[in-house]
Amino acid sequence: MVNPTGSQQATRDGAGRFMRTVEALIAGYEQLSRLDRGRPPVRLVDRDVPVLVESIREEAVDVRGITLVSADGAQLPGWHPGAHLDVVLPSGRMRQYSLCGNPADQSRYRIAVRRLENGDGGSCEIHDTLRVGDRLTVRGPRNAFPFIPSERYLFIAGGIGITAILPMVRAAAAAGADWRLVYCGRSRESMPFRAEVVTLDPARVWLRPDEEYGVPASGAELFEHAPEGARVYCCGPVPMTTGVRLDLPASRADALHFERFSPPPIVAGKPFEVELARSGRVLEVPADRSALDVIRDEQPGIPYSCRQGFCGTCTQRVLAGAVEHNDHVLTPEERTVAMTICVSRASGGRVVLDV
């Protein structure tokens, strides 16, 4: 998974459900996007760990589970449910994948990668070139999706989003909490770790493949499984997380934490210009695109990873111009001289970057 991607807590405010009209959905998403910006920075872990690929296993259609061990035989850094790794691939690409193994086992890490033919190349590189015995570098683990103790939980996973959720379910079960898991996907064959999930407790797990129900699940349908006062953890595609967020106020749940594995849509963006100081080029950034996307058209090799503002890979030095900072990683001091070009925008007409 990517990736992972950011988490956010929302609480019941008694305001009733959003009207199910296009106008209300747009207004609701604008509000939710603003909430994302208020999340505290993720604590970075500056640690490179050399690892070897111990095993590769087909976990579902186009999904490979990969087990990594320390290259020198040492124990790997510890982690908690919700954590992810930055994986540096042989090409130099860096991608984030949720840890989906056992946090108590520091002898190995487990991740899972879904092949995305129309993605940015990281997943295809893993599927096409990675072999048992290959050496990689990982960074972290880091946790932008922390698991908070509670008496009651509802876990909602969509497809590869099960990777972030699976260790949380195991932790809740071990703690004796009252929990339920709803696991959605296009088909049973596309859902990784399906058999492993069911063995956790068949009475508490609901597999919900879209092809068996005709349509994807709505947020209201998913909340039907929530224990009273449950803390909800959701990881999946943007339509799923959006539906869950909009339907939270009318549910029995008290709090929601979520993680995306794709970039959020740009809502209420304003066009601006980016000047690339090293070449003197001035690029137009439309309201519905990021500076990263536009700069990549000019310079395909510019580094990036999460595209959600929490990893810091795409950070660039700002030489002039005011910035609307939408990231979750830079400190206040760093924001005076830099910006993450995947999510942040110029708050004036132009920003000049040291690119």
Per-residue pLDDT of 50-82, as tens digits, reads 999 999 999 999 999 999 999 999 999 999 999
Could you tell me the two tokens for 159?
Answer: 């497809």
CATH code for the domain in which residue 299 is found: 3.10.20.30
Residue 224 domain-assigned (yes or no)? yes
Task: Report how far apart, in Å, the C-alpha atoms of 27 and of each of 11, 21, 24, 77, 290 are.
Answer: 18, 10, 5, 42, 21
In a domain, 4, yes or no: no
The domain containing residue 153 runs over which residues?
A: 9-40+145-260
**What is the tens place of the pLDDT at every residue in 163-215?**
999 999 999 999 999 999 999 999 999 999 999 999 999 999 999 999 999 99
pTM of the predicted model over 0.95 = no
Under 8 Å between Cβ of 169 and 181: yes
Assign 13 a pLDDT band (cuts: 50, 70, 90).
very low
253 and 149 both lie in a single domain? yes
161 phi and psi angles, rounded to 5 deg: -60, -15
Roughly what angle, to the nearest 10 degrees, separates helices 238-247 and 22-37?
A: 100
pLDDT in the model for residue 39: 47
Does 36 share its domain with 151? yes
Query: Are residue 78 and residue 225 in the same domain, yes or no?
Result: no
- What is the H or E stretch that residue 97 is in? strand 94-98
If one counts every other C-beta atom within 10 angstroms of the C-beta of residue 179, the result is: 25
Rg of the chain over Cα atoms, rounded to whole angstroms, equals 20
Coil, strand or helix: which one is 206?
Answer: strand
